């Protein structure tokens, strides 16, 4: 690693994570791209002049290895997450809920705990949580995911209070409808038709690059400016239940 400020991005193998890694590198950060799919993060790191570190946020040993590999860190983008299924509560699989909580909440906890000493030691650290509007409003069929994202949002809000007076900013970016290659496909178990239906008729859902732009803007504010919470939706989505489709 070089003398540039170091930014760690989890879940950097695709979607918002990969886009954020590229955008932060363009802003002058040395980006540590962390994810399970090593082939993807190695290609990304080679392309942006960064560093690839394998990471499974559900595995404490893996998280500890990340912290050991990154003793100095100014920015942590907790992006790793995901959704499984759209079953109503009465039919939901508890295993799906457990996975969503492990990734979206405990994964954030593990990585934040591991890198917080480095963030604080930098003198101007910043933890950015990639949350969701689902972390602030519920919808039918989404209880498992919204419960997990509400948990992550509560973690972020509490951390902001607990770190007051210390040199670490804490922010949450909560996107609405973002069309990425894998999120809905993963949610629906690889059912491409069902995944595509989520965005059907929506003229311009947000892109991964739109959210990466938000990440870059939040972390490049002056150190005394803390953007606590940034909610962003496409123009076509006025609310979780109000989407204009053509």
The pLDDT averaged over each successive group of 10 residues in the chain (246 residues) is 83 97 98 98 98 98 98 97 95 97 98 98 98 96 97 98 98 95 82 85 95 98 98 96 93
β-strand pairing of 30-35 with 125-130: unpaired
CA–CA gap between residue 94 and residue 104 (Å, rounded): 15
pLDDT of residue 13: 97
pLDDT of residue 217: 98
pLDDT of residue 182: 80
pLDDT of residue 192: 84
169: its two tokens: 């900013």
pLDDT of residue 180: 87
pLDDT of residue 2: 44
Place of tokens 């496909």: 185
Q: What is the CATH number of domain 6-243?
A: 3.40.50.720
Domain boundaries, the chain: 6-243
- What CA–CA distances, in Å, run from 19 to 13, 81, 170? 9, 15, 20
192: its two tokens: 């491409």
Q: How buried is residue 82: exposed, middle or buried, by Cβ count under 10 Å (0-12/13-18/19+)?
A: middle
pLDDT of residue 1: 39
Write down the pTM of the prediction. Answer: 0.95
**Catalytic pick among 29, 101, 139, 145:** 145
Dihedral sign computed on CA atoms, order 214, 220, 221, 227? positive
Active site residue 145: yes
């Amino acid at each position: 690693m070089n003398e540039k400020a170091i930014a760690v991005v989890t879940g950097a193998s695709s979607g918002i994570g990969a886009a954020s890694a590229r955008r932060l590198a363009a802003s002058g950060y040395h980006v540590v791209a962390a994810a399970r799919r090593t082939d993807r993060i190695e290609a990304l790191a080679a392309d942006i002049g960064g560093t690839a570190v394998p990471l499974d946020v559900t595995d404490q040993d893996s998280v500890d290895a990340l912290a050991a590999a990154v003793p100095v860190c100014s920015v942590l983008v907790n992006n790793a997450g995901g959704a499984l299924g759209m079953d109503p509560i009465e039919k939901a699989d508890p295993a799906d809920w457990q996975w969503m909580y492990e990734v979206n909440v405990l994964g954030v906890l593990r990585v934040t705990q591991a890198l917080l000493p480095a963030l604080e030691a930098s003198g101007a650290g910043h933890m950015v949580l990639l949350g969701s509007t689902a972390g602030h409003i519920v919808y039918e069929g989404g209880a498992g995911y919204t419960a997990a994202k509400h948990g992550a949002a509560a973690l972020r809000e509490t951390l902001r209070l607990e770190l007051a007076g210390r040199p670490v900013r804490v922010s949450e970016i909560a996107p609405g409808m973002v069309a990425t290659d894998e999120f809905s496909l993963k949610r629906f178990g690889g059912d491409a038709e069902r995944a595509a239906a989520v965005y059907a008729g929506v003229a311009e859902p947000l892109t991964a690059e739109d959210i990466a732009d938000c990440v870059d803007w939040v972390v490049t504010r002056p150190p005394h400016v803390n953007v606590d919470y940034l909610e962003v939706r496409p123009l076509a989505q006025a609310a979780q239940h109000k989407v204009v489709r053509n």
